[in-house]
Structure formats: structure tokens, C-alpha cells
Amino acid sequence: MKPLIYLDNAATTKTAAEVVDAMLPYFTEQYGNPSSIYSLGRTGKEAVTKARETIARSLGARSDEIYFTAGGSEADNWAIKAVAEAYGEKGKHIITSAIEHHAVLHTCQYLEKHGFEVTYVGVDEQGILKLDELKAAIRPDTILISVMFANNEIGTLQPIEEIGEIAGSHGILFHTDAVQAYGQLPIDVDQYHIDMLSASGHKLNGPKGIGFLYIRKGLRIRSFVHGGAQERARRAGTENVPGIVGIGAAAGRAFRIMEEKTAKETELRDYLIDRIEQEVPYCRLNGDRRLRLPNNVNFSFRFVEGESLLMMLDMEGICASSGSACTSGSLDPSHVLLAIGLPHEIAHGSLRLTLSEENTKEQMDMVVAAVKRIVERLRAMSPLYEDFIKQESK
């Protein structure tokens, strides 16, 4: 067995040891219900309060603007459906981007079946939202703009501050899915004019099944889960205390190590990009070279089938992901790669490698060697490649 090289941190991350340590007592000794009066419950309540404060501080928000959820998907669903419900009388038009995560896209599609109209604004070939298209899409009945902070496939960072200003100047609410960005980049909700922001624990070395939605104070947002008075009666259910402690600890850790982690990942990212471009012919870097997440690398290789590439990388102990097939098992190419203008056959040959601060330069060299070898082997089996080379050599 080859040692594992994990390069799928956009899918999920390892829970950091200090996060697990912080969580453990809340499974064992400190199991009280935070709503209880006795001190066993109070300890849990204090831990929840502390996590909420850590997260609020990290965003320049107030504690009572942070609502814990069961992850990023729930936070996205809540934000969009709640605005539709509370502001639907004012208007029934929503603007989002063509490259959102399915948690946003499918929620918008659901609302389209319930009387709302949605405009999916396009992106340029780097994956950056077209601001003039956004401005042109605004109507008197637009109630929400939802644009992700950073894309999960190609890593592109969006002009969030400009989008927030455009939304704010038109009196439109602004939600951002920051699941990929939170913990990787500094975010200030006031500076960026963000009204709602989604994040998820397991994308920042915290546990799975916990996330939060930031909701700016004063927004008319009704309860998402009806029941008890938890989360200021907006999201009922006994708090996931270990999970909340975990996401709080993960947030504290992420902001503490951010500078060092970003520097290390950026260096490895650019090294990997340069070496793949040098070693593998007929490849294309997807996403903006500079305006991208510090840990994201995404390439398309012509005449290569992404799924085969992934399976052969797996045999070498390399965990990666492709943009080519969505999780439902469909073989449709990624909507993100199509939105940046890639033809179907090139979008199919894509590879996403997302790094962590634990990766090394030696690992990057091993990955480059494996990708080079596998791409050569797959192309050698491709009749299209054979024809292409014949044409090229004429």
C-alpha cells in the first residue's frame, strides 16, 4: 500500500486534533442539555455561547447574528427560502450565479416551481461573475442576490465587496455561500455588505454535520425548524453541543493559523500548477490564476476521461476529485466548467486537487509524476488523440 496523498480538501477536511480534543468532553462528562437549569446543562450552554462568540468575532458580527445549522447545505437552504418567504410580498425575483453549489442552485430551482423567478448571472472564462450582467438583471421586484464567496470547483474568488455594494445600493438583500472561503480568507460582513453568510464545519478542519448561517440583525427571517426556543426560536432542536464546540474550535484555529497556512498552501499550489503546465502537454488551468483559493488547483486535460484519471490516481493512493460528474452519478459535465465556456469533451477531462497545510513539496512531485504517467497512458488509448497528433505533425 502506498501512503495516502489527500488532495480533496474542498470535499472535506480532516478534523484537527485540537478540535477533537475540545469536543470530546461534550460527548462524555459534559452531556447536559444547554436548556437545563442545573450546572451540567449550564456548562454546555457556556460552551455554545463561547463558540458563537468566536465565530461572530471572526466575521465582525454580533453573537446574536450567528445561527447554528446542520451544515452548509442547510444554511444555504434556510437563507434563500427564508428571504423568499419573508420578502415574497415585496417581490418574487432572485438573482444568483451560474456556478453556485447545488445547495443554492437546487433551492432556487425549487422556488422557481413556487412562483419565483430566478436569474442565473454568467461568469467570464476565469469564473468571475459578470458585474454588468448582474446590474442589468436587477429589477424592482428583486429581493435577493446570492453569490458564493469562492467556488468549490475552480477556486475562483468573487468580487464580493462590489456585489455587496450593488445589492445594498438597490435595497436588495445579499447572501453569500462562504463554505469554501470561511476559515481560508478574512471576511468582514460589514465591509462586504453581507446580509447573510453560510459556512460549514467540515470544510475548515471541524466536524461534519455542523455549520452556521449569519443573519444580519433586523432581517425579517422566520423560524426554519419549528419547535423549542433554541437559536432564538429560529432553528429549534437540542443544540449539537459537541458539533458547535467543534466548529468554534475549528474557527479559532483557522483564524490563528490563517497567515501561515495560506502562505504554505499558495506556494505548493503555484508549484503544482507550474509543474503540471511544464510536464503535461495540452492541459488548461481552470479558474483565475491569481484570484483563487490558496489551496485550489483545477486542470482540464484534452483527450482524457476524468473518471479514469481519478480511478488510476486512487490506485496510486492519491485522493482527488473531478469536476466532470456530479455526485448523483450522472455523467453530465460540471455546470461550473460549462459556465466558464469549456466544451463538453474538455470539461470531461478535468481534475481538481485541493491542498492542505499538511501536504509537502515531495507529495506534489509524486502527484505530477503520477498525473503525467496516467495522462500519457490514457491518451495512448485514445483514437482522437492519435488523430490529433497526426494532424499536429503534418
Ligand X SMILES: *Cc1c(COP(=O)(O)O)cnc(C)c1O
Would you tell me which residues interact with ligand X (CB under 6 A)? 71-73, 76, 101, 103, 148, 152, 177, 179-180, 200, 202-203, 211
- Give the burial string for 175-192 (b: 16+ CB within 10 Å, else e): bbbbbbbbbbbebebeeb
Told to judge if 326 belongs to the known catalytic residues of this protein, a careful annotator would answer yes
DSSP class per residue in 330-349: --PPPHHHHHTT--HHHHTT
Helix (H) or strand (E) holding 53: helix 39-59
Nearer to ligand X, 202 or 264 (CB): 202
d(CA 380, CA 376): 6
Q: Which of the residues 108, 283, 319, 326 is marked catalytic?
A: 326
3-class DSSP state for residue 357? Answer: coil
Q: In whole angstroms, how close is the CB of 109 to ligand X at the nearest point?
A: 15
Q: In whole angstroms, how close is the CB of 104 to ligand X at the nearest point?
A: 7
138: which residues sit within 8 A by CB, 6+ positions away?
Answer: 95, 166, 170, 172
Q: In whole angstroms, how close is the CB of 198 to ligand X at the nearest point?
A: 7
Q: Which cell is 206 given?
A: 471541524
Nearer to ligand X, 155 or 379 (CB): 155
Q: In whole angstroms, how close is the CB of 203 to ligand X at the nearest point?
A: 6
Residue type, 350: S
Nearer to ligand X, 106 or 139 (CB): 106
d(CA 129, CA 147): 9
Q: In whole angstroms, how close is the CB of 51 to ligand X at the nearest point?
A: 16
Nearer to ligand X, 152 or 295 (CB): 152
- CA 225 to each of CA 35, 170, 228: distance values in angstroms, whole numbers, following the listed order: 17, 30, 9
Active site residues: 326
